[in-house]
Amino acid sequence: MSIHHHLSDTTLGAFTAGTLIETISLVVASHISICPDCRKRQDQLENIGGIQLQFAEPEGMSSDALQKAMIKLGKQELTPVFSPADTSPLSSSSGTALSFGNPEVPKPLRAYIPDRLEDVEWKPIAPGIKYFAMEGLKTANGTLSLLKIAPGVNIPEHGHQGIELTQVLKGSFRDEIGRFGVGDIADFDSDIKHQPIADTNEACICLIATEAPLKFTGLLPRLVQYFSVM
Amino acid sequence: MSKQRQFGLESREKKLPDFSMLLLSVGQNQDKAAFADIFQHFAPRIKSYMLKLGSIDDVAEELAQQTLLKVWRKAQLFDPEKAAASTWIFRIARNIRIDALRKQKHFFDDDYDLEGIADEQENAENKVSREQKSLNVTLALSALPKDQTRIIRLSFYDGLSHSEIANQLEIPLGTVKSRIRLAFGHLRKSTHLESGEMA
Ligand SMILES: [Zn+2]
């Protein structure tokens, strides 16, 4: 898989600082789990976080804080170091192996959708567009949709407030900005208006998170919105 | 004039112990004295980090305790070739902060230091220790224009979202984002130069 579209500095920075809402964070994490480039940039940003912490103004702890901690040390169960044999690429279910390479469903998503995309039970919501409801995530401040878009079908033109992230899991789409294939992430800021279209003979499966509800017009978009917040 | 003197960091640097060595010793020997040194420096700073998100004093102190205990439990996983000690501790504190104060899932892989980050550009010849890299970034940070460092601080340390920063500084959200982009651009350039990596 070669990835051509990456996370913006601002999105990656906000993710690293831990200030994004849950739905956006999930899509960011999904991209990072398959993108060594963004992983490396995240690493550099965490470095900045560490420096901020190391040189921060201290806030007084209570006088017996260290003593309290020292008493607890003996009772802590130490996290063991796994041997390299435990973390072979095959043992991705062990929870520790990173899934660089080519998993169909990036690791952070596996708690919410089936491991294989062919096992997803889609609900049609409009001609050419199917939807899968992901459960167990906070969607109060945004939306999250897993969509399957038939070849040649486009999502109606829309603009947004805040961030919109689209991670392509299968197939590809094209819009005014460019072409997005498997692994690519479209990281759009507010005031961009676009109209993505699935542009090959394969359906495009993509995960879309928005920070605030999309500003659609028309019936279909309202349906998409309705399902997204369910 | 050395760069360190130029940015006024020399004295600050001198006073600080080598946290990577201390953390290694905690991991390898369950060294309680080394842990105490790490605690004394980081616990009060993690407490202030937790306080910024509006947690009350007791909670912030408790979360600082939890963070340091996690440092103790996970110290065996620390690898100084993969992260500076401050980066590693920041990750733990940040994840606890998201879980406890934002009450949401964080999606960071807690143990990913084990796997490390595929860093093809980093061959044996130009390998610079993570602590050295971290110092390079510190120098680069201190050389940024004030309006950029302020925003980086509000974002990474005070934990404010970009729109919260915009509100607090009474500037447009777009300005916050462009300053962040500028700052990261500068940092990337200067740290690549410092460590001999290609951009
Ligand atoms: Zn990327």
- pLDDT level of residue A151 (50, 70, 90 thresholds): very high
Q: In this predicted model, which residue has the larger pLDDT, A95 or B33?
A: B33
Domain A9-87 shares a fold with domain A111-229: no
Q: Answer whether residue B176 shows pLDDT above 60.
A: yes
Residue A32 alpha carbon to ligand 1 centre in Å? 6
- Mean pLDDT is lowest, of B28-37, B104-113, B159-168, for B104-113
The two structure tokens encoding residue A95: 């929870």
B28 neighbors A27 (Cβ within 8 angstroms): no
- pLDDT level of residue B103 (50, 70, 90 thresholds): confident
Beta-carbon contacts of residue B125 (< 8 Å; ≥ 6 apart)? none
Query: Residue B147 in 3-state DSSP?
Result: helix
Q: Give the integer Cα–Cα distance in Å for A5 and B93.
A: 30
Q: Answer whether residue B117 shows pLDDT above 70.
A: no
CA angle (A218, A223, A227) in 5-degree steps = 155
Residue B39 phi/psi, 5° resolution? -60, -50
- pLDDT level of residue B133 (50, 70, 90 thresholds): confident
Provide the pLDDT for residue B64: 97
A185 to A75, A166, A176, A230, B13: CA distances (angstroms) = 44, 5, 15, 24, 40
User: Hey, which CATH number is domain A9-87, 2.120.10.30, 1.10.3470.10, 1.10.10.1320, 2.40.50.140?
Assistant: 1.10.10.1320
Q: Give the integer Cα–Cα distance in Å for A4 and A179.
A: 9
Q: In this predicted model, which residue has the larger pLDDT, A77 or B60?
A: B60
Q: In this predicted model, which residue has the larger pLDDT, A140 or B85?
A: B85
Average pLDDT over residues B56-63: 92
Beta-carbon contacts of residue B190 (< 8 Å; ≥ 6 apart)? B136, B139, B140, B143
Q: Give the integer Cα–Cα distance in Å for A7 and A186.
A: 8
Average pLDDT over residues B77-95: 94
- Percent of chain B, pLDDT > 70? 79
What superfamily does domain A111-229 belong to in CATH? Jelly Rolls (2.60.120.10)
Could you read off the pLDDT of A38-55 as tens digits, one per residue? 998 999 999 999 999 999
A14 neighbors A20 (Cβ within 8 angstroms): yes
Of A14, A59, A78, the CB nearest to B162: A14
In this structure, the dihedral spanned by the alpha carbons of residues B67, B73, B76 and B77, taken in order and rounded to 10 degrees, is -60
Expressed in angstroms, the distance from the first to the final Cα of chain A is: 33
List the beta bridge partners of residue B155.
Answer: none
**Residue environment code for B170-182, b if the CB has 16+ CB neighbours within 10 A, otherwise e:** eeebeebbebbeb
- pLDDT level of residue B122 (50, 70, 90 thresholds): low
A1 neighbors A32 (Cβ within 8 angstroms): no
- Average pLDDT, rounded, for chain B: 83
> Residue type at A146?
L
- pLDDT level of residue A63 (50, 70, 90 thresholds): very high
Q: Answer whether residue A147 shows pLDDT above 50.
A: yes
Q: Where are the domains of chain A?
A: 9-87, 111-229
- pLDDT level of residue B197 (50, 70, 90 thresholds): very low
A50 neighbors B197 (Cβ within 8 angstroms): no
Provide the pLDDT for residue B160: 92
B95 touches chain A (CB under 8 A): yes
- Mean pLDDT is lowest, of A54-58, A153-157, B68-72, for A153-157
- Ordered by where they begin, the domains of chain B are 3-125 (1.10.1740.10), 144-191 (1.10.10.10)
Residue A1 alpha carbon to ligand 1 centre in Å? 12
- Complex-level ipTM: 0.86
Average pLDDT over residues A82-93: 45
Beta-carbon contacts of residue A128 (< 8 Å; ≥ 6 apart)? A149, A150, A152, A153
Around Cβ B82, how many Cβ atoms within 10 Å? 18
- Mean pLDDT is lowest, of A67-81, B66-80, B139-153, for A67-81
Provide the pLDDT for residue B127: 62
Q: Give the integer Cα–Cα distance in Å for B32 and B188.
A: 37
Interface size A-B, in CB pairs within 8 Å, comes to: 205
CB contact under 8 A, B108 and A29: yes
Average pLDDT over residues A165-184: 92
Provide the pLDDT for residue A160: 62
Could you read off the pLDDT of A195-205 as tens digits, one per residue? 788 988 899 99
- pLDDT level of residue A192 (50, 70, 90 thresholds): low
Q: In this predicted model, which residue has the larger pLDDT, B186 or A188?
A: B186
Q: Give the integer Cα–Cα distance in Å for A138 and A22.
A: 6
In chain B, residues 149-168 whose CB comes closer than 8 Å to chain A: 152-153, 155-157, 159-164
Residue at token pair 């993505």: A196
Q: Answer whether residue A115 shows pLDDT above 60.
A: yes
In chain A, residues 194-223 whose CB comes closer than 8 Å to chain B: none
